[in-house]
Amino acid sequence: MYIEINSPLDMHLHLRDGAMLNLVAPLSARHFSAGLIMPNLVPPIRTIDDVVSYKKRIIRAIQNEKFTPYMTVFFHEQLDFNTLQALKKEILAVKMYPDWVTTNSAWWVKTVDLAKIWHIFEAMQTLEIPLCIHWETNDFVMDREKNFIPIYEMLVKTYPKLKIIMEHITTKESADFVEKYDNVYATITLHHLMITLDDVVWWLLQPHLFCKPIAKRPEDRQALLNLVLKWSKKVMFWSDSAPHPITKKETKYCSAWVFTAPIAIQFLVELFEKHNAIEKLWLFLCQNAKDIYKINPPEKIVRLEKKEYMIPERYYDVVPFKHEQIVSWSFTHW
- First and final CA of the chain: distance in angstroms? 18
Residue 158 lies in a domain: yes
pLDDT of residue 19: 95
26 cis-preceded (ω within 30 degrees of 0): no
Summarize pLDDT for 8-19 with one digit per residue, the tens: 999 999 999 999
Residue 208 lies in a domain: yes
How many domains, in total, are found in the chain?
1
Residue 112: which pLDDT band, with cuts at 50, 70 and 90? low
Q: Indicate the average pLDDT of the chain.
A: 92
Summarize pLDDT for 170-191 with one digit per residue, the tens: 999 999 999 999 999 999 999 9
- Residues labelled catalytic: 240
pLDDT of residue 73: 96
Residue 320 lies in a domain: no
Residue 222 lies in a domain: yes
pLDDT of residue 172: 96
Global model pTM greater than 0.75: yes
Q: What is the mean pLDDT of residues 270-299?
A: 96
Rounded Cα gap, residues 77 and 6, in angstroms: 39
Residue 1 lies in a domain: no
Q: For 197-222, b where at least 16 C-beta lie within 10 A, e where not — what string?
A: beebeeeeeebbbbbbbbbbeeebbe
Residue 4 lies in a domain: no
The CATH number of whichever domain residue 101 belongs to comes to 3.20.20.140
Between 23 and 116, whose confidence is greater?
Answer: 23
pLDDT of residue 104: 43
Beta bridge partners of 187: 236
- The answer on pLDDT for 105 being more than 50 is no
The kind and range of the H/E element at 152 are helix 144-158
Task: List Cα–Cα distances, 93 to 42, 132, 308, in angstroms.
Answer: 19, 7, 37
Residue 334 lies in a domain: no
Q: Which residue range(s) make up the domain with 223?
A: 9-298
pLDDT of residue 326: 98
Between 103 and 10, whose confidence is greater?
Answer: 10
- The answer on pLDDT for 333 being more than 70 is no
- The answer on pLDDT for 282 being more than 70 is yes
- The answer on pLDDT for 320 being more than 90 is yes
The kind and range of the H/E element at 177 are helix 172-177
pLDDT of residue 102: 47
- The answer on pLDDT for 270 being more than 70 is yes
Residue 45 lies in a domain: yes
State the amino acid at position 174 in one-letter form: S
